[in-house]
Amino acid sequence: MADRKYLNSIEEFYRATRPDSIEELCRDLYGLVHPRLGRPERAEGAESDSWRRSLPDLALLLYDFPEYVRQTCEESLALEDELEKHINALRALKDCPELAAFRASPACAVMRENSRGSIRKALDSGLAKDLAGLDTGLMMLEEGKLAEAAASLARQKEALRVFRERLMNEKDTVPGLPPLEVFLEYRLANTKGGSRADVLLRDPGKERWAIIELKQWTEDAMDVQIIEDEDGAKTCRVFVTPYEKDTDHPAVKVRDVYKPALRQELPEGAGIKCVVYLHDQLFDGGRLFLPLSSGISIYDGRGQHNNIMFTRMRCGSMIRQLADFFSAPARP
């Protein structure tokens, strides 16, 4: 099986993604994915940036779950401190007498009207960053908006506490994975254009495989649309704002495209599990987690052990399901 980066263990995968090794790994992957462009000293492009962020994150998660939890909780605490600073600033601004006096002045009414016009102009020209700044400015002028914003951040801060509590409860209870081989950027020959799976895990003794699709997406940077054709068939498209890219829903793609394509390459009876890991999204929910009423399933079968999509909050569940999948007896 060629046209992929092979690592003979999860430990080797982990070592290859550490700071002193990640550039070499990126060069290897860049040369694999872009063979006509050669192997530059430093791999360039969006794929390389993704590899530098997503692969070290996944490797640590697979290799040392307690350490992954510890680092994630540290990041959560730092984020909570930042939220507290913003909450205090909003509350202080809310009670600022100068702001209250300005709201009552004729100049405030003029600014409100001008800002609304500027927002309409920004919408017409697609200047999202200008829109965000103007929107914040308007929030300062509207009575009660600052208090609402502070309350919203306080809810996020409490959610982070619950998030840490859940992870810490799982830190020492999630089972480790058995010895597995790792394939990176595995080219699936039986797909249109030869799509590549981000990561494949393999137990060669049992012929069990796990497809792991890595996404840096977060729900605030995408739009999800359900499209229905004339025959009533539904598809789900995802528009990712930072990349200006329209693509398939990742859970549907790994299940309905990658999994069948991989199955054609494997011996009869080989087991395959699909996973999508949103390693930049902390919590479940959001646009990618489609409700049953959407008419589109994002699960691999039925039941809680057939989830496909996982966020950081559910990273323990993901490892547990992978461990259960690989530890099950091989088919006779």
What is the value of pTM for the model shown?
Answer: 0.84
State residue 175's pLDDT score. 94
Looking at the DSSP bridge assignments, the partners of residue 311 are: 278
Pairing of the two strands 208-215 and 222-228: unpaired
Residue ranges, the chain, pLDDT below 70: 1-2, 37-47, 111-112, 114-141, 242-244, 302-305, 330-332
State residue 302's pLDDT score. 65
State residue 278's pLDDT score. 93
Residue where the block lists tokens 């999509």:
309
Q: Which amino acid is at 211?
A: I
- Show the DSSP H helices in the chain as ranges: 10-16, 22-33, 46-63, 65-94, 97-103, 106-125, 128-141, 145-170, 250-253, 259-263, 315-327
Q: Do the beta carbons of residue 221 and residue 132 sit within 8 Å?
A: no
State residue 11's pLDDT score. 97
State residue 7's pLDDT score. 96
Nearest to 89 by CA among 153, 137, 133: 153
Dist CA 261 CA 256 (whole Å): 9
Give the Cβ contact number of residue 46 at 10 Å. Answer: 10
**Element spanning 209, H or E:** strand 208-215
Give whole-number Cα distances, 59 to 7, 55, 193, 230, 305, in Å.
12, 6, 27, 44, 22
Dihedral of alpha carbons 279, 281, 284, 286, sign = negative
What is the Cα gyration radius of the chain? 24
Q: Do the beta carbons of residue 181 and residue 201 sit within 8 Å?
A: yes
Q: Which DSSP letter does residue 255 get?
A: I
Nearest to 13 by CA among 151, 200, 164: 200
Q: Do the beta carbons of residue 162 and residue 171 sit within 8 Å?
A: no
